[in-house]
Structure 1
Amino acid sequence: MKTAQNHPGIYWIMGVSASGKSTLGLALARALGVPFFDGDDFHPQANIAKMSAGIPLTDSDRAGWLDRLNRLARDHRDSGAVIVCSALKEAYRQRLAEGIPEGIQQWVVLHGAFETLQKRIQARTDHFMPPGLLQSQFDTLELPSYGIQLDVALSPDQMLQRVLETHRAG
């Protein structure tokens, strides 16, 4: 994806917890020379407390968070950014993309087997998202047919190379 202004654009890295969004997002931001933003950093404390307690977020819980991420993307639409967030439903992705021209943004969709992601999330010790909520994310997930589709079985380097190849192809 290259825009008329020839800047990197907004890359949304989406998927369920433990899919590798932050790992890929950080590497992509470095490669493109743009800022990286982790959507988890924009959750209000009430959302973090709820998830930490093993309670899935509702659409209402997510509304303000999605709006903050959309504002962040709009603030960086001229210079580019990589933003990672679950973006589980099409309605969430529409809200995130609101006001951002189609040619300015690209979705990177990370997906994989529940068992693979369950092992990853159980191995994490530094995240507020408990393993018990992974099933609720899979239940909520509406995989888009658009975007760069990447299986989480790929290595982070393989994922990065595929995204960069698409970026260069413009």
Structure 2
Amino acid sequence: MHGPESSGWLLVALCAGTGAYCLVRMRSRIEEQRRTAGGEALMGFGMAAMAVPAAVTAPPRWAWALYTVVFGAAAVRALWALRAARAARGGGHHLHHMVGACAMVYMAAVMAGGTHSGVPVLTGALLVYFTAYVLRTGARLVPVAAATVAPAGGGRPPGWGDRAELAGACRLSMGMGMLAMLLTM
């Protein structure tokens, strides 16, 4: 992506760290955590790769096409999971995964085209969506963090992959990373 080199590297570190934590979450005892963690790890590492400052290394055009295909497949997978979850009366998080994957497809397609600015209306709509998502996710962290200080029922404390507040922080950081990437469009 384009922008100041120092902020680009900070974004790379944030997204790669988030992706690494999502890999840890794949070992969670909670099935829902395991299901979503793989897609979030893909998003984190993909965002890290896309955020490497262009001044350091300019990826070849085929790399942007590869990102488009990978995140297009992730969007289709999220759509399939959303369809199944809607039948079970749920799936809001799958919708977010689909929007995120489509945003990555959009940014990769713009970069593959050799331009550095996308469709202003679409970029603006994505900025509004991710701003609302970041604000909502950040607001939800406050009560979750207070509620998970002590284990419920005196059981053993949750593992690193099972902590709801860390999963929320992971999603918050990826949302902020997406905002930063969209702002460079």
TM-score, structure 1 normalization: 0.31
More relative contact order, 1 or 2 (CA 8 Å, 6+ apart) = 1
TM-score, structure 2 normalization: 0.30
Answer 1 or 2: which has greater strand percent.
1
Answer 1 or 2: which has greater helix percent.
2
The structure with the larger Rg is 2
